[in-house]
Amino acid sequence: MLADLDGVVYKGPFAIPFAVESINRASRSVRVGYVTNNASRTPASVAQQLRDLGLTVTDDEVVTSPQAAVRLLSGLVPAGSLVLAVGGEGLRAELARAGFAVTDSADDDPAAVIQGYAPEVGWKHLAEAAFALQGEGAERPWVATNQDWTLPTARGMAPGNGTLVSAVHTAIGRLPIIAGKPEVAIFEEAVARFGATKPLFLGDRLDTDILGANRAGIDSVLVLTGVDGPKQVLAADPSSRPTFVLDHLGELHESYPEVAVETDAVGDTIYTVGTAAVRLSLSREGAARVGVEREGDAQIDLLRAGCAAVWGSGRPIYALDVDAALYS
Answer yes or no: do 192 and 99 share one domain: no
Task: Quote the CA–CA distance of 204 and 245 in Å, as a whole number.
Answer: 10
Task: Quote the CA–CA distance of 55 and 162 in Å, as a whole number.
Answer: 29
Residue 63: HSE in the Cβ half-sphere, 13 Å Cα cutoff: 25
DSSP tag of 143 = E
- Residue 202: what pLDDT? 98
Reported pTM: 0.86
Whichever domain contains 92, its CATH number is 3.40.50.1000
Structurally, the chain folds into a number of domains equal to 3
Answer yes or no: do 100 and 119 share one domain: yes
As to burial, measured by CB atoms within 10 angstroms (0-12 exposed, 13-18 middle, 19+ buried), residue 278 is buried
Contact yes or no for 210/222 (Cβ under 8 A):
yes
Q: Among the three residues 122, 148, 178, which one is the final residue of a domain in this structure?
A: 178
Answer yes or no: do 74 and 159 share one domain: yes
Instruction: From residue 4, give the alpha-carbon distance in Å to each of 1, 35, 170, 277.
Output: 10, 5, 29, 31
- Residue 151: what pLDDT? 81
Task: Quote the CA–CA distance of 35 and 63 in Å, as a whole number.
Answer: 5
Answer yes or no: do 134 and 218 share one domain: no
- Residue 113: what pLDDT? 98
- Residue 103: what pLDDT? 98
DSSP tag of 272 = E
- Residue 282: what pLDDT? 86
Answer yes or no: do 51 and 189 share one domain: yes
Strands 14-15 and 177-178: unpaired
Answer yes or no: do 95 and 142 share one domain: yes
Domain residues for the domain of 85 are 66-178
Answer yes or no: do 96 and 143 share one domain: yes
Answer yes or no: do 45 and 78 share one domain: no
Contacts of 285 (CB under 8 A, 6+ apart): none
Task: Quote the CA–CA distance of 76 and 79 in Å, as a whole number.
Answer: 9
Instruction: From residue 201, give the alpha-carbon distance in Å to each of 53, 65, 181, 205, 221.
Output: 20, 16, 12, 11, 6
The residues assigned a catalytic role are 4, 6
Contact yes or no for 174/67 (Cβ under 8 A):
no
Answer yes or no: do 139 and 156 share one domain: yes
Task: Quote the CA–CA distance of 312 and 327 in Å, as a whole number.
Answer: 17
Q: Among the three residues 224, 251, 278, which one is the final residue of a domain in this structure?
A: 251
Task: Quote the CA–CA distance of 26 and 244 in Å, as a whole number.
Answer: 16
Answer yes or no: do 72 and 147 share one domain: yes
Per-residue pLDDT of the chain (328 residues; tens, 9 = 90+): 999 998 999 988 899 999 999 999 999 999 999 999 888 889 999 999 999 999 999 999 999 999 999 999 999 999 999 999 999 999 999 999 999 999 999 999 999 999 999 999 999 999 999 999 999 999 999 999 999 888 877 788 899 999 999 999 999 999 999 999 999 989 988 998 999 999 999 999 999 999 999 999 999 999 999 999 999 999 999 999 999 999 999 999 999 999 999 999 888 999 999 999 999 998 777 789 999 999 999 999 999 999 999 999 999 999 999 999 998 8
Answer yes or no: do 11 and 99 share one domain: no
Closest by alpha carbon to 26, among 8, 12, 39?
Answer: 8
Answer yes or no: do 104 and 162 share one domain: yes
Q: Among the three residues 154, 178, 202, which one is the final residue of a domain in this structure?
A: 178
